[in-house]
Every structure is written in C-alpha cells, then in structure tokens.
C-alpha cells in the first residue's frame, strides 16, 4: 500500500463485552481489535492509517436469517437507545475513517456505532 492509504477493519461490541452464546465470534472480533491496533503501530511510519469500527446490534439480512423470530423482534432493545442500528449508521463511521480529509490524525482507533451499548 502506498503512503496516505487507509485500512478500516470491522470488529464488534462483543470484542469488548464478550458473549456466552457467541464465544467464537467474540474471540475473533477481539483478535481483529488487537490486529487493528498492532498493524497501526507497524505501518504508521509508512504513512498508512489503520482503524476500526465496533458496531453493536445492526439490522442486516444475517440477523433475520440466523436468529429466532422472537430474538429478531427484540434486536437492539438491550442498548440504551433501545433499537438496533442501520447499516448506513455504521457506513458513516467507515467513510469517516477512510477519508484522509476527515481523519488524518486517527490511527489505531476504533469507533463505536452501538447505541450507547458501552
């Protein structure tokens, strides 16, 4: 990658809070978090920024396809905003971090579009 490039990784709120039901998912998202911070340190001298986003519950086709109907009906009710986020709300964070005009002084950071989950 050339100088001025930006990498944006997607982790999850579960990297921070864990999950008794989704142990493997939480662990891999934790690994992405650590990878993001470590890679940022490795490539900062080359002028490459590495950041991440850690969404909370987000309405995606995967939620509807993989969760029981009663869980889909309450998706997001556990966060203080009492709703699941929309994909465009996560996309805004990704675009911000990818843009050198907006986030040129960000590297090794993670934004949290998660409805005030944490």
pTM of this structure: 0.91
Domains of the chain: 6-111 (3.40.50.720)
Q: Residues with catalytic annotation? A: 25
Question: Is the Cα dihedral 49, 55, 58, 63 positive or negative?
Answer: positive
Helix (H) or strand (E) holding 9: strand 6-10
Read off the pLDDT of residues 65-90 as tens digits, 9 standing for 90 and up. Answer: 888 899 889 999 999 999 999 999 99
- Name the percent of the chain lying above pLDDT 70: 100
Helix (H) or strand (E) holding 35: helix 23-43
Reply yes or no on whether the pLDDT at 63 is more than 90.
no
């Amino acid at each position: 990658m050339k100088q001025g490039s930006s990498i944006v990784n997607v982790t999850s709120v579960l990297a921070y809070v864990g999950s008794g039901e989704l142990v493997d998912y939480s662990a891999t998202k934790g690994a992405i978090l650590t990878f993001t911070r470590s890679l940022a340190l490795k490539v900062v001298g080359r002028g490459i920024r590495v950041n991440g986003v850690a969404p909370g519950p987000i309405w995606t086709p995967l939620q509807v396809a993989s969760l029981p109907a009663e869980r889909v009906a309450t998706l997001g009710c556990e966060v203080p905003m009492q709703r699941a986020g929309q994909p465009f709300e996560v996309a805004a964070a990704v675009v911000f971090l990818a843009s050198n005009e907006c986030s040129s002084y960000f590297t090794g950071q993670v934004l949290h579009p998660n409805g005030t989950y944490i």
